[in-house]
Amino acid sequence: MSENLRTLEGWYTLHDFRRFDWPAWRALPERERQAIQEELFGVIKQYKFCDEQRQGAYACYEILGHKADFLFLNLRPTLQELSKAEQALQKTRFSQFAPVVYSYVSVVELSNYVHSSESVSPEAQAMIDARLKPVLPKTQHVCFYPMNKRRELGNNWYTETLEERRRMMREHGLIGRTYSGRVTQMIGGSIGLDDWEWGVTLFAEDPLVFKHLVTEMRFDEASARFADFGAFYVGNRLDSVLLRD
C-alpha cells in the first residue's frame, strides 16, 4: 500500500458565490435599497475587522460570466466561526436578491510534498504559519477552481509511491516558482469536506497569468496524467459592494 499523504492544516475557507437579481433590485424603492445596502455594509465591516485583527481573512470579488456575480471569500480558525460568517451574510435582506449559486468549503493545506515533517527553524516555521493563515493579497484579480487526482486503471495517483508522487509534485512546483511575484496560490484541502479533493485559488494583478500558469502546468506529468478540473471562476477585486446600476 502506498504511503499516506501527510498534511498541515490552517484556517477553514468558504468560497461563497452569489448571483444578483438586478431587475428585482431596481423594482425596490430607493429608501429600501439604501437600508439593504447599509445592512450589507455592516456585515462587511465585521468581516474587515476580523481580517484586520488577524482572526481570519476576507475579500470580495465581482465574478465574470454567467456562473455568478459576486464571490465572498472568508477564512476562519474553526468551522463554527466560518459558519457564523456565512450566516451573517445569509440573514441579511441582501441575500434575498443574491442567492448562493455555488459554494466551496476547504481548509488551507500544506502537504509533505512541499514541507518536511522534520524539525524546522523558527524562520521556516513562521513562513509555514503565514501560508496556513494567509493574508489575502490585494491584487486585482482572482481565479478559483476545484480539482481531483485521478483514480483510474493505469493512472491512479493513490497507488503511486510517495517518492514518485514527490518527484512529480517537485516538477509541478518548479513551474509555479517561475511565476513567483506574479501570482499567489492558496490550496484548500477538501477531501471529506466538499465534492472535490482540493480547491485552488490564484491571485494576480494580470489575469493572463492565470491562463499562462494553468496552461504550462497542464503539460507536466502530475497534471497531464493525474489531474481533473472542475469549473473555473475568475473575477475582479472589490473594495466594497456598491449595488448601483
| DSSP 3-state of 185 | strand
How far is the C-alpha of 229 from the C-alpha of 132, rounded, in Å? 23
Active-site position among 145, 158, 179, 233: 145
Backbone angles phi, psi at 79, to 5 degrees: -65, -35
Which residue has 429608501 as its cell numbers?
31
What is the Cα gyration radius of the chain? Answer: 19
Which residues, listed in sequence order, are joined to residue 60 by a DSSP beta bridge?
Answer: 72, 238
The size of the chain, in residues, is 245
Decide if 233 contacts 68 (C-beta within 8 A): yes
Catalytic annotation on 145?
Answer: yes
How far is the C-alpha of 123 from the C-alpha of 125, rounded, in Å? 5
Residues with catalytic roles: 145
